[in-house]
A and B are shown apart, each in its own frame.
Chain A
Amino acid sequence: MDNSIYLFAAFSITWTVIFLYIFRLFLSQRDLNRQIIEIEKTLHKKIKADDGPEYGASF
C-alpha cells in the first residue's frame, strides 16, 4: 500500500503550522522592538526639552 502522499501532506502541514506560528511570534517581537526604539526616542526628546537649551556649550 503506497500512501506516501498522505504522509507527505501530514508532515508538511504540521511543519507549516508550527513555522507559521513561530514566524508570527517573530513578527510580534520585531514590532515590540520597534516600539521600544520609539519610546527611547520620545524619552530622549522629553529629557532634552525638560533640560532646556544648553547655554554652556557656546562658551
Chain B
Amino acid sequence: MKYLRALWIPFQILTYVLMLIALYAIFIYAPVEKTMGVVQKIFYIHVPAAFLAYLAFFITFIASILYLYFRDSKWDTVAYCAVETGVIFCSIVLITGPIWAKPVWNVWWTWDPRLTTTLILWFTYVAYLMLRRAVKDNRRANFAAAFGIIGFINVPITFFSIRLWRTIHPVIITSRGLNMSDPMKLSLIITFIAFCFLYCSVLISRIKLEQSKMRIAEINGIMDDMYFNKIA
C-alpha cells in the first residue's frame, strides 16, 4: 500500500507526459487524411474514448458480480465510480462523433445502428446513476449491481453493431488488424495508451474520493450517536 502511494505521483506525471506525446502524435506526427482532411484527426480521441467507455462498463459488470458474490461494499463503490467515468467517456464519444459526421456525412446525426446503440448505451448507464440516487441506502447496492450486470448486454451489441447490421460507420478494427497507414496506427496506439493512463488516474481518484466520503459519513454517524447517547 505504501509503495502504491509512492507510485501515485510518478503515475500522474507519466499520464501528463503521455498526454503531451499523444497531442504531438495527433497534430504533428500523424499525416492528414486525403479525403476527409484534418477533421479525420477527431478519430484519435473518438476511438480511445469509445474503448474506455466499454472498459468502464466492463469494470462495472465485473465489480457488480463480485459485489453480489462477496457482499463487500468496496465492489459497489468500484462499480459506481466506473459507471460515472464511463458515462463521461461515452458522452465524449457522442459529442465528437456528430462533430466528425457533419463535414464527412453532411449530417450531425443519423439513426445508424452504431450511433443508435451507442446512444442507448449512454441512456442505460445514465439510468444506472439515476437509479442509485432514487433507491434507498439498504437496497441501492443490490439494485445497482443487478442493473450493472444486465446493462452490460448493451456493450457487445454496440461493439458488434457495425458487423451485425448494414451501417455507414467506418470499420477500423478488421480481421487483418487496424485498417490505416503506419503513422496513423502508431499515433492511435500512443493516444490509446495515454487515454488509458488518464482513465486509470481519474477512476482511482474517483474511487478514493468515494471511499473517503463513505468513511466521513460513517464517522459523522458515530459522532451523532455519541451526542444523542450523552443527551439521553
A interface residue numbers (CB < 8 A to B): 1-4, 6-7, 9-11, 13-14, 17-18, 21-22, 25, 28-29, 32, 35-36, 39, 42-43, 46
Are A18 and B198 touching (Cβ within 8 A)? yes
Are B209 and A2 touching (Cβ within 8 A)? no
Candidates B38, B205, B209, B219; contact of A3 at CB < 8 Å: B38
A43 to B223, CA, bound (A): 9
Are B99 and A10 touching (Cβ within 8 A)? yes
B18 an interface residue at 8 Å Cβ cutoff? no
Given A10-B100, A21-B88, decide whether A32 and B212 contact each other with a Cβ distance below 8 A: yes
Are B209 and A7 touching (Cβ within 8 A)? no
Q: Mark B36-53, 1 if CB is under 8 A from A, else 0.
A: 111101100110010000
Extra inter-chain contacts (15) besides given A7-B39, A17-B95, A22-B202, CB under 8 Å? A3-B38, A6-B42, A7-B38, A10-B95, A13-B96, A14-B95, A14-B96, A18-B92, A21-B88, A21-B202, A25-B206, A28-B209, A39-B216, A39-B219, A39-B220
Number of B positions contacting A (CB below 8 A)? 30
Residue on B nearest A9 in the bound complex, by CB? B99
| Residues on the B chain within 8 Å of A39, using CB | 216, 219-220, 223
Candidates B88, B99, B102, B198; contact of A17 at CB < 8 Å: B88
Are A13 and B99 touching (Cβ within 8 A)? yes
B169 an interface residue at 8 Å Cβ cutoff? no
Q: Name 7 interchain pairs, CB-CB below 8 A, sorted by A.
A: A3-B38, A3-B103, A6-B102, A6-B103, A10-B42, A10-B45, A28-B213
Give the one of A18, A39, A42 with max B CB within 10 A: A18
